[in-house]
């Protein structure tokens, strides 16, 4: 039933998209131009779990969502990052309500702006709860395998040498993409997300998931992504899906062919020790991605000297030295990047957004700043950062909405 709904959703938008989608954001037949990809990345915002609904959130309650709907329309965002995902909560995928609610919200947003696309994330985690998910026939068919009446097998997704097994806790591991069962599972998730209306998928720490695959020339990632892109021609509303990952080495290429459409990475904020709470961006600082992405032929067929990329306000927790500078680690004054931003008053927050987008334009213009809309934070009095203008509809708003709108509206379409 969900499969049929997904196809009906795709077909229902054909006329709307033909009429409303501007050439500056065109995607079709599995391809996207460099200009359109640049436009999407230049109008990106993180809005974590926006498409999830009550009972299915990973990161705790999500109040004031109606104001987020308003905010996203107001700022002119086109690429809505991390809008839906699971971090070890595979049981949500059993629910038709989870998929249907997300699909309905995408329809609502597309009624206002058909150019807007939503990103799902498939992260570097799998737990034993995946054993509860039955494998649909169409997954086996995509891999030319005999159809079986069975569920996914957690044990068959793990590294055979025990690498990163139980990495996230007992029964919670990093899946190994070189294992066929992991490929089946990732294909299942990617296809279900596209049936929901998703047009972009973030594959987490792809090199970590590919712990063995690099020894084999990344054959598993190459094969899986080819299947996902083929599925997009059937399931995605414009026949195209944008695939990215956190890639510290700047990308993955096989015989000059880039596997991902673009690269994502944390900002890597460098503290200014004599200016408490202030930070800057710097070429060559730690493992920052600036100036490091690799070139090749993109999945859409056009060459690039270096891959386009996004930098985002990452979340990874709080250090043992909150509010203290330590330029040797990844924390910003002891906090992850989005939590650091949440601690700042709106005056400095606005100044930093303007500084960061200008710094990228000056130092590496193929990189784009993903605006901070909403994301989980750590060590503060609330669990989720919001950029919204503060109001009765969102009393916890961080006050960066109009600055984000101004920055996005200044970008070419």
Determine how β-strand 262-266 pairs with β-strand 309-312. parallel
User: Strand, coil or helix: what is 276?
Assistant: coil
Contacts of 183 (CB under 8 A, 6+ apart): 143, 177, 220, 223, 224, 227
Which residue is associated with the tokens 């954001």? 25
| Rounded Cα distance, 307 and 38, in Å | 11
pLDDT of residue 17: 38
10 Å CB burial of residue 170 (0-12, 13-18, 19+) is exposed
pLDDT at 381: 85
Q: What is the DSSP letter of 49?
A: T
Question: By the 8 A CB rule, do 396 and 408 touch?
Answer: no
pLDDT at res. 12: 41
Angle at 23 between CA 21 and CA 26, to 5 degrees: 70
pLDDT tens per residue across span 345-393: 999 999 999 999 999 999 999 999 999 999 999 988 889 999 999 999 9
pLDDT at 23: 62
**Tokens 């995607």 map to which residue?**
27
Q: Are 307 and 250 in contact (CB under 8 A)?
A: yes
Q: Which residues, in sequence order, are bridge partners of residue 257? A: 254, 297
DSSP-derived letter for residue 24 is: G
The answer for residues whose C-beta is within 8 angstroms of residue 234's C-beta and 6 or more apart is none
Name residue, tokens 């987490």: 204
pLDDT of residue 133: 98
Q: What is the pLDDT of residues 10-43, one digit of tens each?
A: 434 333 333 344 469 999 999 999 999 999 999 9
Distance CA 3, CA 212 (A): 33
Give the N- to C-terminal CA distance of the chain in Å, as an integer. Answer: 38
Tell me the C-alpha to C-alpha distance, in Å, between residue 254 and each of 230, 258, 261, 298.
18, 7, 14, 11
**pLDDT score for 382:** 87
Q: Which residues of the chain have pLDDT under 50?
A: 1-22
């Amino acid at each position: 039933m969900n499969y049929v709904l997904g196809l009906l959703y795709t077909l229902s938008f054909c006329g709307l998209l033909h009429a409303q989608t501007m050439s500056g954001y065109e995607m079709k037949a599995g391809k996207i131009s460099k200009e359109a990809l640049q436009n999407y990345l230049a109008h990106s915002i993180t809005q974590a779990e926006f498409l999830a609904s009550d009972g299915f959130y990973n990161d705790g309650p999500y109040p004031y969502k109606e104001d987020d709907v308003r905010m996203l329309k107001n700022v002119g965002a086109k690429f809505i990052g991390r809008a839906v995902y699971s971090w070890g909560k595979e049981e949500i995928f059993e629910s038709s309500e989870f998929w249907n609610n997300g699909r309905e919200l995408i329809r609502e947003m597309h009624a206002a702006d058909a150019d807007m696309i939503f990103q799902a994330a498939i992260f570097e985690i799998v737990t034993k709860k995946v054993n509860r998910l039955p494998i649909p026939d169409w997954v086996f068919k995509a891999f030319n395998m005999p159809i079986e009446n069975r569920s996914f097998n957690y044990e068959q997704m793990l590294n055979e040498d025990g690498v990163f097994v139980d990495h996230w806790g007992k029964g919670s591991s990093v899946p190994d993409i070189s294992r066929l069962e992991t490929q089946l599972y990732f294909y299942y998730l990617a296809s279900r997300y596209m049936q929901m209306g998703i047009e972009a998928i973030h594959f987490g720490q792809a090199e970590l998931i590919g712990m063995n695959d690099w020894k084999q020339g990344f054959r598993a990632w190459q094969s899986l992504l080819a299947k996902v892109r083929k599925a997009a021609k059937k399931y995605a509303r414009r026949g195209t899906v944008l695939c990215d990952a956190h890639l510290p080495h700047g990308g993955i290429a096989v015989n000059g062919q880039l596997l991902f459409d673009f690269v994502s990475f944390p900002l890597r904020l460098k503290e200014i020790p004599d200016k408490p709470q202030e930070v800057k961006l710097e070429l060559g600082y730690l493992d920052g991605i600036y100036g490091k992405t690799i070139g090749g032929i993109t999945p859409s067929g056009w060459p690039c000297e270096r891959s386009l990329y996004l930098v985002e306000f990452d979340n990874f927790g709080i250090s043992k030295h909150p509010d203290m500078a330590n330029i040797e680690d990844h924390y910003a004054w002891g906090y992850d990047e989005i939590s650091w931003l949440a601690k700042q008053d709106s005056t400095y927050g606005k100044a930093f957004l303007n500084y960061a987008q200008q710094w990228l334009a000056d130092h590496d213009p193929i990189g784009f700043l993903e605006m901070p809309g909403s994301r989980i934070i750590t060590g503060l009095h609330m669990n989720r950062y919001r950029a919204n203008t503060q109001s009765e509809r969102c009393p916890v708003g961080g006050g960066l909405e109009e600055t984000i709108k101004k920055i996005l509206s200044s970008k070419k379409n």
